[in-house]
A and B are shown apart, each in its own frame.
Chain A
Amino acid sequence: MLAIGAIVAVTTGALGIGAWGLRWARTTSDLFVASRVVTPWWNAAAISGEYLSAASFLGVAGLTMRSGLAALWLPVGFTAGYLALLLFVAAPLRRSGAYTIPDFVEMRLGDRDLRLVASLVVLAIGVLYVVPQLRGAGLVLGEVADAPYGVGIAIAALVVVGSVSFGGMRAVTYVQAFQFWVKIVAISVPACLIVVHLGGLPEKAALLGRELPRAPQAGIRIELPEPVTVTFPEATRYRISDAGGDPPPSTREASAGSSASSGSPAGGGHRPGTTGDRASTGPRGSTSRTAQAGERIRLPAGELAIPAGAALPVADGITAKTGREWAKPAGGEGRGSPLFLYSLLVATFLGTMGLPHILVRFYTNPTGTAARRTTVRVLGLLGLFYLFPVVYGLLGRVLVPELYVTGQTDLVVLRLPGAVFDGWAGESLVALVAAGAFAAFVSTASGLLVSTAGTIAYDLLPRLRPAIDAADRRDRSAGRRRRRFRLATLAAIVVPAALALAARGLDITILVSWSFALAASTFCPLLLLGIWWSGLTARGALTGMVVGGTVASAGIVTALAGGEAMEESLLSQPAVVSVPLAFATMVLASRRDARPDERLVAGAMRAMHAPERALRDPALSR
């Protein structure tokens, strides 16, 4: 209940700031004038607020717990992306006056077909990135409010659509800045309290950390809401009892896949009827049996009991790791393999600049210099935030190891405070992290929705239906366009919501990888070459984007089709191949093309690179 209250409070707060800021923005006639009031600190908090998504708030800690310290390269890459953005994009893009990537394309290359392609890529990246946010919302609401997954997604979608419909650039800046502070408080306060409560980063954690995750001294009882397939790393005795008065779980199902050998006697109510099968059915429908080391078993729903000190089984998709393996930041197979790791770093380092909701925020900076200052502050704020998920990952391994059994390591941030503190203290901390998680996906999903809905309403529809374009030209008032934008928001949320419903069981980090890889293989070369190389042509840019996007997507689709075996293979993280390929194609195709119009290029270069004060005509420094 407390958690629902906290979520409602944060959401209302954000909507309230939105409404208040909107009124403020209306009295300030000019957006440009208004933007001068927003200081670099506010802007930086807003950018970080929009950027820190469910993947950062829940995913990094969960992935750390699941696959080990190698997961921490992800936030390093997320932050490094802003370094690339600072060095090559922030100031020139602000000076160019382009508001979105399609705007940039038109400003720099003056080509409407390419603008259309860029809009489609914006849509693809946006949809792929919203899905994990909605799924995160479904998980959080299911955890704290017992809401069914679908209901959670529907509520989240409604909140996001509502907050986007308020609109208003300045309002959004303050809303996003507010969400940033909510998130950083929500992740840091429980983390600090937990560490203090346990008396420093726990010796306990480190000691247990050397081992496989094991049941604590009192043994462990784990509620399995639905059947789960697990692998036992060691021979372990377990008992599964049926919650409620349902018929006892089928022992045959429980032992499927076991190399049925007689031997280790089952305890409790051993009945002659089940000899040969090592399982036994006790009173009240409980089954005891011993699993062999490495045995893969499908457990029915119910309550699983593991005795003290026994190694815990892990759900499919998780590898049981000793502390030593778990603490290895690089090396070995999967997520730690050097090629995978470098590919991930390339995708995040170069992909961040191409995320559609990021560049929009830079427009609120009054000048290119301010854009640089803002980005430096973003680097600091993100670095501050990413200190904390690791605490949850480290402690979660020891204190909430049952998540390995259920496979829901993504919930570690939500479960840990309750596992450390009892009573009201635990409850209020859980409420705090739940509110932070909700803020995380609402802010990111809103930012993305503004971009995708804007692209549909102002780019795609006028382009595909000339009648709309003509009507826009006749009627310059904003009302029509605003209505169309609102309809587009609905369209833009329905598709990802449906995908999120379908993607419940899917490992969604692959969708995040996909959007970063796609951005790094299409928009990154477009921006870098467009800003710094006068030889780029529209056809070159088009060829490069198509090649890069196709190669990246083909890899990921293959990995998705291949299932779990390929989840951590290079196919699921193709940037190390697709990005250089996209750059090379773009340069070669531009070279083979006719030379671009020199005056157009010179004008664009002047707009992007000349400091604002060097120009006489204020219209030129947009």
Chain B
Amino acid sequence: MSVDRRELDEATPHARLYLDRLRRAHLGLSGVAAIAGGGLIAALPLVALALPSLAEREALGVPVAVLLLLCPYPLFVALGWLYARRADALDRTFLELVADDEDEAEP
């Protein structure tokens, strides 16, 4: 089970099969991450609406609401980092399926 570089270059039907699979895998990963990230963003206003006490309670001298509005930033970085790791792994898996043809020596 492999596809060689010449076929990829020419996007032959055989290569397209592999590329479609790679694209779907990426889309699935991005979709999951987007649901996580988008869900996080969409949930925050709901939290704020559901807990009006956020504006009244204080922590560290500021309304707790401020902390709620600052908490997405580290979560974005964490989510982005996890996503990038998984996406790179998908690319590597794909590269393992790519066979070198005889006339080409990998440097």
| Known A201-B60, A206-B61, A532-B23; contact A88-B37, beta-carbon cutoff 8 A | no
Residues of A within 8 A of B79 (CB): 83
Q: Which residue of A lies closest to B80 (CB)?
A: A376
Asked if residues B45 and A328 are in contact (CB atoms below 8 Å), the reply is no
Give the distance to chain A from B21, nearest Cβ to Cβ, in Å: 10
Tell me which of A372, A386, A390, A617 contacts B87 (CB under 8 A). A372
Chain B 47-65 near chain A by CB (<8 Å), digits 1 or 0: 0110010111010111101
Interface readout for A226-250 with B: 1 if CB under 8 Å, 0 if not? 0000000000000000000000000
* Given A86-B80, A201-B61, A379-B77: A328 in contact with B9 (beta carbons within 8 A): no
B52 CB to closest chain A CB, in angstroms?
A: 7
Given A79-B72, A327-B63, A613-B95, A379 and B45 touching (CB < 8 A)?
no
CB of A588 within 8 A of chain B?
Answer: no
B45 lies within 8 A of A609 (CB): no
Contact A324 B83 (CB under 8 A): no
Q: With A and B bound together, what is the CA distance between A209 and B58 in angstroms?
A: 11
**B6 → A minimal CB distance (Å):** 6
Residues from chain B with Cβ under 8 Å of A341 in the complex: 45
The verdict on A387 contacting chain B, using a C-beta distance below 8 Å, is yes
* Mask of B69-87 contacts with A, CB within 8 angstroms, 1/0: 1101110110111011001
- State whether A394 and B37 are in contact (beta carbons under 8 Å apart), knowing that A69-B69, A327-B55 are contacts in the complex: no
| Stretch touching chain B among A153-161, A413-421, A483-491, A597-605 | A597-605
Q: How far is the CA of A587 from the CA of B78 in the complex (A)?
A: 33
Q: Which residues of A have CB within 8 Å of B55?
A: 69, 324, 327-329
Within 8 A of B (CB), among A46-83: 69, 72-73, 76-77, 79-80, 82-83
> Which residues does chain A contribute within 8 Å of B42, judged by CB atoms?
342, 345
Interface size range of chain B in the complex: 35 or more
| Chain B CB within 8 A of A592 CB | no
Q: Are A330 and B49 in contact (CB under 8 A)?
A: yes
Within 8 A of B (CB), among A144-159: none
- The chain B residue with its CB closest to the CB of A87 is B30
Which single member of B62, B94, B98 contacts A201 (CB below 8 Å)?
A: B62
CA distance A298 to B98 in the complex (A): 75
Query: A80 and B23 in contact (CB under 8 A), knowing A69-B66, A341-B45?
Result: no
- Interface pair A387/B73, CB less than 8 Å apart: yes
Q: Do the beta carbons of B77 and A383 come within 8 Å of each other? A: yes
Question: Chain A interface mostly helix, strand, loop or mixed?
Answer: helix
Interchain CB contact under 8 A, A383 and B74: yes
Tell me the bound Cα distance from A381 to B34 in angstroms.
20
Question: Is B41's CB under 8 angstroms from A80's CB?
Answer: yes
Q: How distant is B58 from chain A, measured CB to nearest CB, in Å?
A: 6
Indicate if the CB atoms of A76 and B69 lie closer than 8 Å.
yes
- A349 interface residue per 8 A CB criterion: yes
Given contacts A203-B61, A383-B74, A610-B8, contact A329 B54 (CB under 8 A): yes
Contacts of B45 in A (CB 8 A): 73, 329-330, 338, 341-342, 345
A200 to B5, CA, bound (A): 61
Write out the residue numbers on chain A whose beta carbons fall within 8 Å of the beta carbon of B52: 328, 331
Residues of B within 8 A of A (CB): 5-6, 8-9, 11, 15-16, 19-20, 22-23, 26-27, 30, 33-34, 37-38, 41-42, 44-45, 48-49, 52, 54-56, 58, 60-63, 65-66, 68-70, 72-74, 76-77, 79-81, 83-84, 87-88, 91, 94-95, 98, 101, 104
A-B contact pairs, 28 of them (CB 8 A): A76-B41, A76-B72, A79-B76, A80-B72, A82-B76, A83-B80, A86-B80, A86-B84, A87-B30, A205-B61, A324-B55, A327-B65, A328-B65, A329-B48, A329-B69, A349-B38, A349-B41, A368-B91, A369-B88, A376-B77, A382-B73, A386-B70, A386-B73, A602-B11, A606-B16, A610-B8, A614-B95, A616-B8
Please report A residues at the B interface, Cβ cutoff 8 Å: 69, 72-73, 76-77, 79-80, 82-84, 86-88, 91, 200-203, 205-206, 209, 324, 327-331, 338, 341-342, 345, 349, 368-369, 372-373, 375-376, 379-380, 382-384, 386-387, 390, 394, 532, 599, 602-603, 605-606, 609-611, 613-617, 620
Which 7 pairs show the lowest CB-CB distances between chains A and B? Answer: A383-B73, A616-B5, A201-B61, A327-B55, A330-B48, A327-B63, A72-B69
